[in-house]
Amino acid sequence: MVDERLAVAVLDLLRTRGPVAVTMEAVAERAGVAKTTVYRRHANRAELLASVLSRAVGDVKALPDGTVRDKIRGALDQVWSHMVDVLGPGGLAAMMTDADPEFTALFRASLRPYEDALVTRIRDDAAAGLLRPDVDADGVVSLFVGAYLGELVRRGRVADDWRDRALEMMWTVLAAPADDDRRPDR
In tens, the pLDDT along 116-150 reads 888 998 999 999 999 999 999 999 999 988 888 88
Q: Is the pLDDT of residue 184 over 50?
A: no
Q: Are 137 and 119 in contact (CB under 8 A)?
A: yes
Q: Are 52 and 6 in contact (CB under 8 A)?
A: yes
Q: What span, in angstroms and rounded, lies between the C-alpha atoms of 83 and 85?
A: 6
In a domain, 182, yes or no: no
Q: What span, in angstroms and rounded, lies between the C-alpha atoms of 144 and 47?
A: 30
**pLDDT tens digits, one per residue of 24-33:** 999 999 999 9
In this prediction, residue 114 carries a pLDDT of 83
In this prediction, residue 55 carries a pLDDT of 87
Q: What span, in angstroms and rounded, lies between the C-alpha atoms of 95 and 148?
A: 14
Q: Which domain holds residue 120?
A: 59-176
Whether residues 75 and 135 fall in one domain: yes
In this prediction, residue 108 carries a pLDDT of 85
Whether residues 107 and 168 fall in one domain: yes
Which CATH number characterizes residue 34's domain? 1.10.10.60
Compute the average pLDDT of residues 7-22.
92
Higher pLDDT, 106 or 41: 41
Whether residues 89 and 139 fall in one domain: yes
